[in-house]
Amino acid sequence: MSKKKKKLLSVIIIFGLFITSWIFADTVSNSYQKDSVTQIYLDKFEEPIYSTLYYIVNYYYDKDNVDYDKIVDSAIEGMMKGLDDPFAWYLDSVETEESQIDIEAKYGGVGLTIRYDYEMDAVIIVSPMNGTPAQRAGIMPNDYILSVDGTPTSELGLNKSASLMRGEPGTEVTLEIYRDSWTEPKNITLIREIIETKTVKFDTINYKNKNLGYILLTNFAKTSSQEMSEALNNLSNQNIEGLIIDLRNNPGGLLQSAVDIISMFLKSGEVVSVKYFDGTKESIPTIPGNYYSFLQNIPIVLLVNEGSASASEILTGALKDNGIATVIGETTYGKAAVQNVFALSTGGEIWLPIAHYFTPSGSDIHLKGIKPDIEISNPEREVISMTEISEEEATEAFYTTTEKPVLNIEEDLQLKTALDFLTGGN
pLDDT tens per residue across all 426 residues of the chain: 343 333 333 233 333 322 333 454 444 445 566 677 777 888 788 889 889 999 999 999 999 999 999 999 999 999 999 999 999 999 998 888 888 888 888 899 999 999 999 999 999 999 999 999 999 999 999 999 999 999 999 999 998 999 999 999 999 999 999 999 999 999 999 999 999 999 999 999 999 999 999 999 999 999 999 999 999 999 999 999 999 999 999 999 999 999 999 999 999 999 999 999 999 999 999 999 999 999 999 999 999 999 999 999 999 999 999 999 999 999 999 999 999 999 999 999 999 999 999 999 999 999 999 999 999 999 876 554 556 788 889 999 999 999 999 999 999 999 999 999 999 965
Write down the catalytic residue from 321, 364, 412, 416.
Answer: 321
Distance CA 100, CA 92 (A): 12
Write down the catalytic residue from 99, 161, 310, 312.
Answer: 310
Is residue 97 within 8 A of residue 161, CB to CB? The reply is no
- Tell me what pLDDT residue 288 has: 95
Q: Is 308 left (phi over 0), alpha (psi -120 to 50) or beta?
A: beta
Is residue 307 within 8 A of residue 397, CB to CB? The reply is no
User: What are the C-alpha distances in Å from 401 to residues 20, 199, 215, 395?
Assistant: 19, 9, 15, 12
Active-site annotation holds for 69: no
Active-site annotation holds for 335: yes
- Tell me what pLDDT residue 41 has: 80
Is residue 250 within 8 A of residue 219, CB to CB? The reply is yes
Write down the catalytic residue from 335, 363, 364, 404.
Answer: 335
Q: Residue 202: which H helix or E strand, with range? A: strand 200-207
| pTM of structure | 0.86
For residue 380, the 8-state DSSP code is P
Question: Which residue from 197, 129, 142, 164 is spatially nearest to 395, judged by alpha carbons?
Answer: 129
Distance CA 23, CA 351 (A): 10
> 193-196 and 106-109 as β-strands: parallel, antiparallel, unpaired?
antiparallel
Active-site annotation holds for 321: yes
User: What are the C-alpha distances in Å from 302 to residues 228, 229, 321, 358, 374?
Assistant: 15, 17, 13, 19, 10
